[in-house]
Chain A
Amino acid sequence: MSQSYNRGLIEDFGRWKEFSAGMWAWIFHKFTGWMLIGYLFTHIAVLSTAIGAAAGDPAAIQQETDVYTTTIQGLESLFIIRVLEVGLLAVAVFHILNGLRLLMVDLGVGLSAQDKSFYASLVLTGIITIASVPTFMDGVTI
Protein backbone atom coordinates (compact mmCIF):
# COMPACT_ATOMS: atom_id res chain seq x y z
CA MET A 1 0.00 0.00 0.00
CA SER A 2 1.45 3.30 -1.06
CA GLN A 3 -0.33 5.66 1.24
CA SER A 4 -3.37 5.76 3.41
CA TYR A 5 -5.23 8.30 5.47
CA ASN A 6 -5.70 8.08 9.20
CA ARG A 7 -8.87 9.80 10.31
CA GLY A 8 -7.98 9.36 13.97
CA LEU A 9 -10.84 9.41 16.44
CA ILE A 10 -13.12 11.02 13.90
CA GLU A 11 -16.46 9.79 15.16
CA ASP A 12 -15.76 9.88 18.85
CA PHE A 13 -16.71 12.90 20.91
CA GLY A 14 -17.95 15.13 18.13
CA ARG A 15 -20.79 12.71 17.60
CA TRP A 16 -22.08 12.53 21.14
CA LYS A 17 -25.63 12.90 19.89
CA GLU A 18 -25.40 9.45 18.32
CA PHE A 19 -24.02 7.71 21.41
CA SER A 20 -26.02 4.71 22.55
CA ALA A 21 -27.20 3.97 26.08
CA GLY A 22 -24.27 1.65 26.76
CA MET A 23 -21.82 4.34 25.69
CA TRP A 24 -23.41 6.99 27.93
CA ALA A 25 -23.43 4.55 30.83
CA TRP A 26 -19.71 3.99 30.30
CA ILE A 27 -18.93 7.72 30.12
CA PHE A 28 -21.00 8.52 33.23
CA HIS A 29 -19.49 5.63 35.14
CA LYS A 30 -15.95 6.81 34.36
CA PHE A 31 -16.82 10.41 35.19
CA THR A 32 -18.50 9.61 38.51
CA GLY A 33 -15.65 7.25 39.37
CA TRP A 34 -13.08 10.01 38.95
CA MET A 35 -15.26 12.43 40.90
CA LEU A 36 -15.45 9.99 43.80
CA ILE A 37 -11.68 9.47 43.77
CA GLY A 38 -11.23 13.26 43.79
CA TYR A 39 -13.61 13.52 46.72
CA LEU A 40 -11.82 10.72 48.54
CA PHE A 41 -8.58 12.72 48.62
CA THR A 42 -10.33 15.88 49.76
CA HIS A 43 -12.03 13.82 52.42
CA ILE A 44 -8.69 12.45 53.64
CA ALA A 45 -7.41 16.01 53.98
CA VAL A 46 -10.44 16.94 56.08
CA LEU A 47 -10.12 13.85 58.25
CA SER A 48 -6.46 14.57 58.99
CA THR A 49 -7.53 17.97 60.26
CA ALA A 50 -10.06 16.23 62.49
CA ILE A 51 -7.44 13.92 63.97
CA GLY A 52 -5.31 16.94 64.89
CA ALA A 53 -8.32 18.72 66.33
CA ALA A 54 -9.38 15.73 68.40
CA ALA A 55 -6.12 16.02 70.32
CA GLY A 56 -6.88 19.67 71.00
CA ASP A 57 -8.38 21.32 74.03
CA PRO A 58 -11.38 19.24 75.27
CA ALA A 59 -13.07 22.32 76.67
CA ALA A 60 -12.91 24.08 73.30
CA ILE A 61 -14.37 21.01 71.59
CA GLN A 62 -17.14 20.99 74.18
CA GLN A 63 -17.98 24.61 73.43
CA GLU A 64 -17.66 24.03 69.67
CA THR A 65 -15.02 26.73 69.34
CA ASP A 66 -12.17 24.46 68.20
CA VAL A 67 -10.62 24.75 64.73
CA TYR A 68 -12.25 21.61 63.29
CA THR A 69 -15.81 22.34 64.38
CA THR A 70 -15.66 26.00 63.37
CA THR A 71 -14.20 25.12 59.97
CA ILE A 72 -16.91 22.55 59.27
CA GLN A 73 -19.63 24.87 60.51
CA GLY A 74 -18.22 27.64 58.40
CA LEU A 75 -18.24 25.44 55.30
CA GLU A 76 -21.72 24.13 56.03
CA SER A 77 -23.10 27.64 56.19
CA LEU A 78 -22.06 28.22 52.58
CA PHE A 79 -24.72 27.64 49.94
CA ILE A 80 -22.23 26.36 47.36
CA ILE A 81 -21.00 23.66 49.75
CA ARG A 82 -24.55 22.39 50.23
CA VAL A 83 -25.02 22.28 46.44
CA LEU A 84 -21.76 20.36 46.07
CA GLU A 85 -22.96 17.90 48.71
CA VAL A 86 -26.12 17.23 46.71
CA GLY A 87 -23.89 16.77 43.66
CA LEU A 88 -21.69 14.33 45.55
CA LEU A 89 -24.73 12.33 46.54
CA ALA A 90 -25.95 12.23 42.93
CA VAL A 91 -22.53 11.09 41.73
CA ALA A 92 -22.27 8.39 44.39
CA VAL A 93 -25.83 7.12 43.86
CA PHE A 94 -25.38 6.86 40.09
CA HIS A 95 -22.06 5.08 40.52
CA ILE A 96 -23.63 2.57 42.92
CA LEU A 97 -26.69 1.90 40.76
CA ASN A 98 -24.73 1.62 37.53
CA GLY A 99 -22.23 -0.55 39.38
CA LEU A 100 -25.07 -2.94 40.20
CA ARG A 101 -26.11 -2.81 36.55
CA LEU A 102 -22.55 -3.68 35.50
CA LEU A 103 -22.53 -6.52 38.01
CA MET A 104 -25.61 -7.95 36.29
CA VAL A 105 -23.97 -7.44 32.91
CA ASP A 106 -20.90 -9.31 34.14
CA LEU A 107 -23.06 -12.15 35.36
CA GLY A 108 -24.87 -12.25 32.04
CA VAL A 109 -28.23 -11.43 33.61
CA GLY A 110 -30.69 -9.37 31.60
CA LEU A 111 -28.25 -8.26 28.92
CA SER A 112 -31.08 -7.46 26.57
CA ALA A 113 -32.36 -4.88 29.06
CA GLN A 114 -28.99 -3.20 29.59
CA ASP A 115 -30.19 0.08 28.06
CA LYS A 116 -33.36 0.07 30.14
CA SER A 117 -31.40 -0.58 33.34
CA PHE A 118 -29.16 2.39 32.50
CA TYR A 119 -32.19 4.66 32.10
CA ALA A 120 -33.57 3.23 35.34
CA SER A 121 -30.29 4.10 37.11
CA LEU A 122 -30.56 7.65 35.80
CA VAL A 123 -34.18 8.08 36.88
CA LEU A 124 -33.55 6.58 40.32
CA THR A 125 -30.51 8.82 40.77
CA GLY A 126 -32.68 11.80 39.87
CA ILE A 127 -35.42 10.85 42.31
CA ILE A 128 -33.03 10.16 45.20
CA THR A 129 -31.14 13.39 44.56
CA ILE A 130 -34.28 15.51 44.47
CA ALA A 131 -35.61 13.78 47.58
CA SER A 132 -32.37 14.62 49.39
CA VAL A 133 -32.53 18.34 48.64
CA PRO A 134 -34.68 19.35 51.68
CA THR A 135 -32.29 17.55 54.04
CA PHE A 136 -29.13 18.94 52.51
CA MET A 137 -30.44 22.48 52.11
CA ASP A 138 -31.91 22.69 55.61
CA GLY A 139 -31.12 25.97 57.33
CA VAL A 140 -28.85 27.54 54.76
CA THR A 141 -29.31 30.93 53.16
CA ILE A 142 -27.95 32.06 49.86
Chain B
Amino acid sequence: MRGTESPQQERLKEKEQGLAQEEAVDESDLEGETVHLKVFRYDPEVEGKQEPRFDDFYVPFEKGMTVLDAVMYARDEFDSSLTFRHSCRQAVCGSDAFFVNGKQQLGCKTQISELKQPVRIEPLPHQEVVKDLVVDMDHFYDQMHAVEPYFQQEELPDGDLEEQRQSRENREKVKMSTRCIWCAACMSSCNIAAGDNEYLGPAAINKAYRFAMDEREDDEIKEHRLRIVEQEHGVWRCQTQFSCTDVCPKDIPLTEHIQELKREAVKKNLKFW
Protein backbone atom coordinates (compact mmCIF):
# COMPACT_ATOMS: atom_id res chain seq x y z
CA MET B 1 0.00 0.00 0.00
CA ARG B 2 1.65 3.12 -1.30
CA GLY B 3 5.21 2.95 -0.05
CA THR B 4 4.96 2.84 3.72
CA GLU B 5 3.33 0.07 5.70
CA SER B 6 -0.14 0.54 7.08
CA PRO B 7 -0.73 0.05 10.82
CA GLN B 8 -2.49 -3.16 9.91
CA GLN B 9 0.52 -4.57 8.11
CA GLU B 10 2.81 -3.58 10.94
CA ARG B 11 0.57 -5.33 13.42
CA LEU B 12 0.48 -8.50 11.33
CA LYS B 13 4.24 -8.47 11.05
CA GLU B 14 4.68 -8.10 14.80
CA LYS B 15 2.23 -10.90 15.39
CA GLU B 16 4.05 -13.21 13.01
CA GLN B 17 7.35 -12.50 14.67
CA GLY B 18 5.82 -13.21 18.06
CA LEU B 19 4.33 -16.48 16.88
CA ALA B 20 7.60 -17.59 15.31
CA GLN B 21 9.34 -17.08 18.63
CA GLU B 22 6.74 -19.01 20.59
CA GLU B 23 6.89 -21.91 18.14
CA ALA B 24 10.62 -22.11 18.44
CA VAL B 25 10.37 -22.63 22.20
CA ASP B 26 7.69 -25.29 22.67
CA GLU B 27 6.64 -28.11 20.29
CA SER B 28 9.41 -30.62 20.98
CA ASP B 29 8.94 -30.51 24.76
CA LEU B 30 5.43 -31.88 24.44
CA GLU B 31 6.26 -34.73 22.05
CA GLY B 32 4.88 -38.01 23.37
CA GLU B 33 3.21 -36.38 26.35
CA THR B 34 -0.41 -35.93 27.28
CA VAL B 35 -2.21 -32.62 27.35
CA HIS B 36 -4.38 -31.81 30.34
CA LEU B 37 -7.68 -30.22 29.32
CA LYS B 38 -10.21 -28.72 31.71
CA VAL B 39 -13.47 -28.46 29.81
CA PHE B 40 -16.61 -26.64 30.88
CA ARG B 41 -19.61 -28.98 31.06
CA TYR B 42 -23.30 -28.14 31.32
CA ASP B 43 -26.41 -29.90 30.15
CA PRO B 44 -29.85 -28.92 31.42
CA GLU B 45 -31.27 -32.30 30.41
CA VAL B 46 -28.82 -34.51 32.27
CA GLU B 47 -28.99 -35.10 35.99
CA GLY B 48 -25.72 -34.04 37.57
CA LYS B 49 -24.75 -31.72 34.73
CA GLN B 50 -27.37 -29.08 35.43
CA GLU B 51 -24.87 -27.33 37.65
CA PRO B 52 -21.91 -26.37 35.47
CA ARG B 53 -18.64 -28.12 36.23
CA PHE B 54 -15.22 -28.72 34.71
CA ASP B 55 -14.21 -32.14 33.43
CA ASP B 56 -10.58 -33.21 33.06
CA PHE B 57 -9.35 -34.92 29.92
CA TYR B 58 -5.84 -36.18 29.20
CA VAL B 59 -5.20 -36.23 25.47
CA PRO B 60 -2.01 -37.56 23.81
CA PHE B 61 -0.15 -34.70 22.18
CA GLU B 62 0.64 -34.72 18.50
CA LYS B 63 2.71 -32.22 16.58
CA GLY B 64 0.51 -29.44 15.27
CA MET B 65 -2.39 -30.31 17.55
CA THR B 66 -4.97 -27.55 17.89
CA VAL B 67 -7.47 -26.97 20.68
CA LEU B 68 -10.18 -28.26 18.36
CA ASP B 69 -8.17 -31.44 17.63
CA ALA B 70 -7.82 -31.97 21.36
CA VAL B 71 -11.51 -31.61 22.22
CA MET B 72 -12.41 -33.79 19.22
CA TYR B 73 -10.08 -36.47 20.55
CA ALA B 74 -11.67 -36.16 23.98
CA ARG B 75 -15.11 -36.50 22.46
CA ASP B 76 -14.25 -39.43 20.19
CA GLU B 77 -12.22 -41.41 22.71
CA PHE B 78 -13.54 -40.49 26.15
CA ASP B 79 -16.96 -38.89 26.26
CA SER B 80 -19.19 -38.82 23.22
CA SER B 81 -21.58 -36.41 24.93
CA LEU B 82 -18.99 -33.60 24.90
CA THR B 83 -20.64 -30.98 22.70
CA PHE B 84 -19.14 -28.15 20.65
CA ARG B 85 -19.64 -26.58 17.25
CA HIS B 86 -17.10 -27.10 14.52
CA SER B 87 -17.05 -27.49 10.80
CA CYS B 88 -14.27 -26.45 8.45
CA ARG B 89 -11.30 -26.75 10.84
CA GLN B 90 -9.42 -24.03 8.98
CA ALA B 91 -10.64 -20.75 10.52
CA VAL B 92 -13.15 -20.03 7.80
CA CYS B 93 -16.53 -21.13 9.11
CA GLY B 94 -16.30 -19.35 12.45
CA SER B 95 -18.07 -22.10 14.42
CA ASP B 96 -15.52 -22.97 17.06
CA ALA B 97 -14.76 -19.81 18.98
CA PHE B 98 -14.05 -20.85 22.58
CA PHE B 99 -12.78 -19.14 25.71
CA VAL B 100 -9.36 -20.78 25.98
CA ASN B 101 -7.21 -19.93 28.99
CA GLY B 102 -9.08 -16.68 29.48
CA LYS B 103 -9.08 -15.50 25.87
CA GLN B 104 -11.54 -15.79 23.03
CA GLN B 105 -9.87 -17.89 20.33
CA LEU B 106 -10.81 -20.17 17.47
CA GLY B 107 -10.24 -23.77 18.54
CA CYS B 108 -8.96 -24.73 15.10
CA LYS B 109 -6.49 -21.87 14.91
CA THR B 110 -4.96 -22.21 18.36
CA GLN B 111 -1.99 -24.52 18.84
CA ILE B 112 -1.99 -26.56 22.04
CA SER B 113 1.79 -26.16 22.25
CA GLU B 114 1.37 -22.40 22.72
CA LEU B 115 -0.88 -22.76 25.74
CA LYS B 116 -0.18 -23.13 29.42
CA GLN B 117 -1.44 -26.32 30.99
CA PRO B 118 -4.00 -27.28 32.12
CA VAL B 119 -5.75 -25.84 29.08
CA ARG B 120 -9.01 -24.39 30.29
CA ILE B 121 -11.70 -24.51 27.61
CA GLU B 122 -14.97 -22.70 28.22
CA PRO B 123 -17.86 -21.49 26.10
CA LEU B 124 -17.77 -17.84 24.99
CA PRO B 125 -18.52 -15.51 27.92
CA HIS B 126 -21.47 -13.13 27.87
CA GLN B 127 -23.53 -15.58 25.84
CA GLU B 128 -26.00 -18.03 27.26
CA VAL B 129 -24.68 -21.57 27.38
CA VAL B 130 -26.94 -24.10 25.68
CA LYS B 131 -24.80 -27.16 26.30
CA ASP B 132 -21.11 -27.66 27.15
CA LEU B 133 -19.20 -25.35 24.78
CA VAL B 134 -22.22 -24.40 22.69
CA VAL B 135 -23.58 -20.88 23.23
CA ASP B 136 -26.75 -19.23 22.02
CA MET B 137 -25.76 -17.09 19.02
CA ASP B 138 -29.22 -15.60 18.34
CA HIS B 139 -28.47 -12.22 19.87
CA PHE B 140 -25.21 -11.95 17.94
CA TYR B 141 -26.98 -12.74 14.67
CA ASP B 142 -29.72 -10.22 15.49
CA GLN B 143 -27.09 -7.51 15.90
CA MET B 144 -25.41 -8.54 12.64
CA HIS B 145 -28.68 -8.39 10.72
CA ALA B 146 -29.55 -5.02 12.26
CA VAL B 147 -26.87 -3.34 10.12
CA GLU B 148 -28.23 -4.83 6.88
CA PRO B 149 -25.12 -6.86 6.06
CA TYR B 150 -25.61 -7.08 2.31
CA PHE B 151 -24.70 -5.05 -0.77
CA GLN B 152 -27.41 -2.58 -1.75
CA GLN B 153 -27.36 -1.13 -5.24
CA GLU B 154 -30.46 -1.15 -7.42
CA GLU B 155 -28.95 0.23 -10.60
CA LEU B 156 -26.98 -1.84 -13.05
CA PRO B 157 -23.79 -0.37 -14.44
CA ASP B 158 -23.77 1.15 -17.92
CA GLY B 159 -22.98 -0.91 -20.99
CA ASP B 160 -22.82 -4.66 -21.24
CA LEU B 161 -21.21 -5.12 -17.86
CA GLU B 162 -23.46 -6.59 -15.23
CA GLU B 163 -20.89 -6.75 -12.51
CA GLN B 164 -20.46 -3.93 -10.06
CA ARG B 165 -16.83 -2.97 -10.56
CA GLN B 166 -14.83 -1.82 -7.57
CA SER B 167 -11.61 0.15 -7.75
CA ARG B 168 -8.45 -1.47 -6.40
CA GLU B 169 -8.05 1.31 -3.83
CA ASN B 170 -11.56 0.86 -2.56
CA ARG B 171 -11.13 -2.87 -2.35
CA GLU B 172 -7.98 -2.32 -0.29
CA LYS B 173 -9.92 0.03 1.96
CA VAL B 174 -12.56 -2.57 2.88
CA LYS B 175 -10.28 -5.60 2.56
CA MET B 176 -9.78 -6.35 6.24
CA SER B 177 -13.41 -5.73 7.11
CA THR B 178 -14.56 -8.36 4.60
CA ARG B 179 -12.69 -11.07 6.46
CA CYS B 180 -15.24 -11.41 9.26
CA ILE B 181 -16.38 -15.01 9.78
CA TRP B 182 -19.13 -14.26 12.31
CA CYS B 183 -17.46 -16.22 15.10
CA ALA B 184 -18.56 -13.73 17.80
CA ALA B 185 -15.20 -13.74 19.58
CA CYS B 186 -15.09 -9.94 19.49
CA MET B 187 -18.63 -9.53 20.80
CA SER B 188 -17.84 -11.91 23.63
CA SER B 189 -14.66 -10.02 24.58
CA CYS B 190 -16.36 -6.62 24.62
CA ASN B 191 -16.96 -5.27 28.08
CA ILE B 192 -19.49 -2.76 26.82
CA ALA B 193 -21.52 -5.32 24.86
CA ALA B 194 -21.63 -7.38 28.06
CA GLY B 195 -23.31 -4.57 29.94
CA ASP B 196 -25.46 -3.16 27.15
CA ASN B 197 -27.55 -5.73 25.35
CA GLU B 198 -28.59 -3.23 22.71
CA TYR B 199 -25.06 -2.28 21.70
CA LEU B 200 -24.46 -3.36 18.12
CA GLY B 201 -21.05 -4.72 19.00
CA PRO B 202 -17.76 -4.77 17.10
CA ALA B 203 -18.68 -7.41 14.50
CA ALA B 204 -21.88 -5.68 13.41
CA ILE B 205 -20.23 -2.27 13.28
CA ASN B 206 -17.38 -3.75 11.24
CA LYS B 207 -19.97 -5.17 8.86
CA ALA B 208 -21.58 -1.73 8.60
CA TYR B 209 -18.13 -0.30 7.87
CA ARG B 210 -17.55 -2.86 5.13
CA PHE B 211 -20.58 -1.54 3.22
CA ALA B 212 -20.55 2.12 4.27
CA MET B 213 -17.01 2.40 2.85
CA ASP B 214 -17.89 0.57 -0.36
CA GLU B 215 -17.99 3.20 -3.10
CA ARG B 216 -20.29 1.12 -5.28
CA GLU B 217 -23.22 1.92 -3.04
CA ASP B 218 -25.03 5.23 -3.44
CA ASP B 219 -24.62 8.13 -1.05
CA GLU B 220 -28.18 7.70 0.16
CA ILE B 221 -27.48 4.16 1.26
CA LYS B 222 -24.28 5.28 2.94
CA GLU B 223 -26.23 7.88 4.88
CA HIS B 224 -28.78 5.28 5.83
CA ARG B 225 -25.97 3.02 7.09
CA LEU B 226 -24.44 5.85 9.10
CA ARG B 227 -27.83 6.60 10.63
CA ILE B 228 -27.97 3.01 11.89
CA VAL B 229 -24.53 3.04 13.51
CA GLU B 230 -24.71 6.54 14.98
CA GLN B 231 -27.69 5.69 17.16
CA GLU B 232 -27.41 5.69 20.91
CA HIS B 233 -26.38 2.04 21.07
CA GLY B 234 -24.17 2.24 18.01
CA VAL B 235 -20.58 3.40 17.57
CA TRP B 236 -20.62 5.81 20.51
CA ARG B 237 -20.78 2.94 22.98
CA CYS B 238 -17.28 1.89 22.00
CA GLN B 239 -14.86 2.87 24.76
CA THR B 240 -11.73 1.88 22.84
CA GLN B 241 -10.61 -0.91 25.12
CA PHE B 242 -9.22 -2.70 22.06
CA SER B 243 -10.42 -6.05 23.45
CA CYS B 244 -12.13 -6.96 20.16
CA THR B 245 -9.07 -6.11 18.08
CA ASP B 246 -6.94 -8.21 20.42
CA VAL B 247 -9.04 -11.35 20.08
CA CYS B 248 -10.14 -11.22 16.42
CA PRO B 249 -8.88 -14.45 14.81
CA LYS B 250 -8.92 -12.78 11.40
CA ASP B 251 -6.88 -9.77 12.54
CA ILE B 252 -9.54 -7.26 11.61
CA PRO B 253 -8.69 -3.83 13.05
CA LEU B 254 -12.14 -3.54 14.63
CA THR B 255 -11.47 -0.58 16.89
CA GLU B 256 -9.94 1.30 13.96
CA HIS B 257 -13.08 0.72 11.91
CA ILE B 258 -15.40 1.76 14.74
CA GLN B 259 -13.36 4.95 15.25
CA GLU B 260 -13.50 5.75 11.56
CA LEU B 261 -17.27 5.39 11.55
CA LYS B 262 -17.46 7.71 14.56
CA ARG B 263 -15.57 10.32 12.57
CA GLU B 264 -17.78 9.77 9.52
CA ALA B 265 -20.85 10.23 11.71
CA VAL B 266 -19.47 13.45 13.17
CA LYS B 267 -18.61 14.76 9.71
CA LYS B 268 -22.08 13.92 8.44
CA ASN B 269 -23.73 15.80 11.30
CA LEU B 270 -21.42 18.81 11.13
CA LYS B 271 -21.97 19.22 7.42
CA PHE B 272 -24.61 21.92 7.02
CA TRP B 273 -24.04 22.78 3.37
Contacts and interface: CB of A to CB of B under 8 A. Distances in A.
B259 A4 contact: no
A12 B242 contact: no
B157 interface: no
A40 to B, nearest CB: 22
B246 A22 contact: yes
A102 interface: yes
Contacts of A9: 125-126, 194
A4 B44 contact: yes
A138 interface: no
Q: SS class of chain B's interface: helix, strand, loop or mixed?
A: mixed
B255 A20 contact: no
Interface string B233-273: 00000011111011000000101100110110000000000
Contact of B136 (A4, A21, A102, A110): A4
A5 interface: yes
Size band of the interface chain B makes with A: 35 or more
A137 B45 CA distance: 66
Chain B CB count within 10 A is highest, among A7, A22, A114, for A7
B208 to A, nearest CB: 17
Contacts of B241: 20, 22-23, 25-26
A10 interface: yes
Contacts of B42: 5
A6 interface: yes
A108 interface: yes
Interface residues of A, number: 29
A42 interface: no
Given A5-B52, A11-B99, A22-B241, A111 B130 contact: no
A105 B122 CA distance: 32
Given A3-B44, A108-B259, A26 B103 contact: no
B263 A108 contact: yes
Nearest to B259: A108
A10 B125 contact: yes
Contact of B11 (A1, A5, A12, A112): A112
Nearest to B134: A4
Given A4-B129, A6-B128, A11-B102, A114 B242 contact: yes
A18 interface: yes
A111 B128 contact: no
A106 interface: yes
Contacts of A114: 240, 242, 255
Nearest to B247: A20
Contacts of A110: 7
A15 B262 CA distance: 30
Interface string A21-52: 11101100000000000000000000000000
Interface of B: 7-8, 10-11, 42, 44-45, 52, 99, 102-103, 122-123, 125-126, 128-130, 136, 191, 194, 239-243, 245-246, 253, 255-256, 259-260, 262-263
